[in-house]
Amino acid sequence: MITKIVLTGGPCAGKTTTNERIEEFYSKLGYAVFTLPEAATLFIKAGADFLTDDKHLYFEIHRSMMLFLLQMEESFEEIAKATGKPALIINDRGAMDISAYMDPDDWQALLQSIGKTEEDLLSRYKAVFHLCTSAKGAPHSYTLSNNSARMEETLEEAMKVDDNLIRVWKKHPNLHIIQSEEYVKDKIDNVLRGIAKELGIEITIDSVSDPT
């Protein structure tokens, strides 16, 4: 069985740390865990200019990124099948995230160009976990220093991005909104519990700290 999950959220939400903890925790429970990298970060570091004023270029970057993301997911599904284990594929952002950064008309044009609908994209994932930016609830923790590809600078910009991402995923039937906590561990434990619920397994609070 392969379970595909999206881990999304605004800037400085703790996705990287949470991904690492998911892999550690569920690997110990016997799952083959694959944590797919954020496509936008790969594109930015490779030289794609997401701040361009060239509308055609901006559209093509996002269309190409979508195709890359879908192919990456499908490739790891094949790898997951080959393990012979129950598998978790964790996407650092998913296909619908792209729409949060596009004009609605351009987004519809992108979908048409790849022969997909929003329903197609939403149905790819068992569940979506939105980690709220630390700009909401824990502004003292908000920083730009831990991601060189981050473009948001202020708390207000971070919260706007966070709200847009919730908006584009709200049609998914299994959207979990994970609020910021005073302690990052509490936020991560909430994600681990939510994943367990989606998998139909039970874990205790103690097992979240140490599944063995």
* Predicted local distance difference test score (pLDDT) of residue 100: 93
Query: Both tokens of residue 158?
Result: 């971070």
Q: Which residue has the higher pLDDT, 142 or 6?
A: 6
- The CATH number linked to 197 is 3.40.50.300
DSSP assignment of 125-183 equals -SEEEEE--TTTT-GGG--STT-TT----SHHHHHHHHHHHHHHHTTSTTEEEE---SS
Q: Please check the confidence at residue 150 and state whether its pLDDT lies above 50.
A: no
Residue 194's domain spans which residues?
2-209
Per-residue pLDDT reduced to its tens digit, 59-83: 999 999 999 999 999 999 999 999 9
Question: Which residues, in sequence order, are CB contacts of 105 under 8 Å at separation 6+?
Answer: none
DSSP 33: E
Per-residue pLDDT reduced to its tens digit, 111-126: 999 999 999 999 999 9
CA pair distance 42, 47, nearest whole angstrom: 9
* Predicted local distance difference test score (pLDDT) of residue 137: 54
Question: Which residues, in sequence order, are CB contacts of 195 under 8 Å at separation 6+?
Answer: 5, 22, 26, 88, 127, 129
pTM: 0.84
Per-residue pLDDT reduced to its tens digit, 2-61: 999 999 987 767 788 899 999 999 999 999 999 999 999 999 999 999 999 999 999 999
Domains identified in the chain, total number: 1
Mean pLDDT of the chain: 87
Would you place residue 109 in the very low, low, confident or very high pLDDT band (cuts 50, 70, 90)? very high
Are residues 21 and 211 in contact, defined by beta-carbon separation less than 8 angstroms?
Answer: no
Q: What angle do CA 194, 102, 144 make, to 5 degrees?
A: 60
Q: Please check the confidence at residue 198 and state whether its pLDDT lies above 60.
A: yes
Query: Both tokens of residue 64?
Result: 């190409």
